[in-house]
């Protein structure tokens, strides 16, 4: 059951972070002519500076919440479910490694896809990587607390 839910989760992450890939030539030419395209970010925590730079505080906070909290929430299930379905992934280091590798793969694919399409329809962003890994860590800590609570109280064991 957990494995099926994890597969659905992974498909959802791919759908959110990769698709749709624009392939219509007219659309791509229009985007390039209008200089539409996202800019890559390799400066850690630049999202905080960008949020403060917007004209209104509420708009900046909305952007910050959408980006930071959205990326954290997107990877919470990674840290929570991985130790439940793969028993030798019950240490934080292993889960962080898998979360980092997954997020890095997504960011690299987004960058390469932009090169392939001809403009950045998705941006490579170090902040996404940081917040995705943070989400993985928080998910793992939630799993760990729940696991220890259930074992300590002789309740149903989540995983072994």
| 75, part of any domain | yes
Q: Are 28 and 119 in contact (CB under 8 A)?
A: yes
Q: Which pLDDT score is estimated for 159?
A: 47
| 142, part of any domain | yes
| C-alpha closest to that of 140 among 74, 77, 71, 72 | 77
pLDDT in tens, the chain (160 residues): 889 999 999 999 999 998 877 666 666 666 555 555 578 899 999 988 888 877 666 777 888 888 899 999 999 999 999 999 998 888 999 999 999 999 999 999 999 988 887 777 788 999 999 999 999 999 999 999 998 888 888 766 544 4
Residue range(s) defining the domain that contains residue 87:
2-152
Q: Which residues, 6+ apart, have CB-to-CB distance to 107 below 8 Å?
A: 124, 125, 128, 129
| 26, part of any domain | yes
Number of domains in the chain: 1
| 160, part of any domain | no
| 158, part of any domain | no
Q: Are 44 and 130 in contact (CB under 8 A)?
A: yes
Q: Are 86 and 98 in contact (CB under 8 A)?
A: no
What is the radius of gyration, based on Cα positions, of the chain? Answer: 19
Q: Which pLDDT score is estimated for 25?
A: 67
Q: Which pLDDT score is estimated for 160?
A: 47
CA distance 98 to 76: 13
Region class of 154: left (phi > 0), else alpha (psi between -120 and 50), else beta: left
Terminal CA-to-CA distance of the chain, rounded, Å? Answer: 15
pTM of this structure = 0.85
| 18, part of any domain | yes
């Amino acid at each position: 059951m957990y494995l099926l839910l994890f597969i659905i989760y992974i498909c959802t992450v791919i759908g959110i972070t990769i698709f749709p890939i624009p392939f219509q030539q007219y659309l791509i030419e229009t985007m390039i002519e209008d200089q539409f395209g996202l800019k890559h970010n390799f400066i850690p925590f630049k999202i905080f500076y960008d949020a403060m730079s917007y004209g209104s505080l509420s708009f900046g906070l909305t952007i910050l919440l959408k980006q930071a909290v959205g990326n954290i929430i997107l990877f919470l299930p990674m840290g929570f479910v991985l130790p439940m379905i793969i028993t030798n992934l019950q240490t934080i280091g292993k889960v962080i490694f898998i979360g980092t590798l997954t997020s890095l793969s997504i960011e690299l694919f987004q960058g390469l896809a932009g090169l392939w399409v001809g403009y950045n329809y998705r941006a490579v962003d170090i902040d996404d990587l940081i917040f995705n890994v943070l989400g993985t860590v928080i998910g793992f800590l939630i799993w760990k607390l729940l696991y220890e609570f259930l074992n300590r109280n002789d309740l149903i064991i989540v995983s072994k």
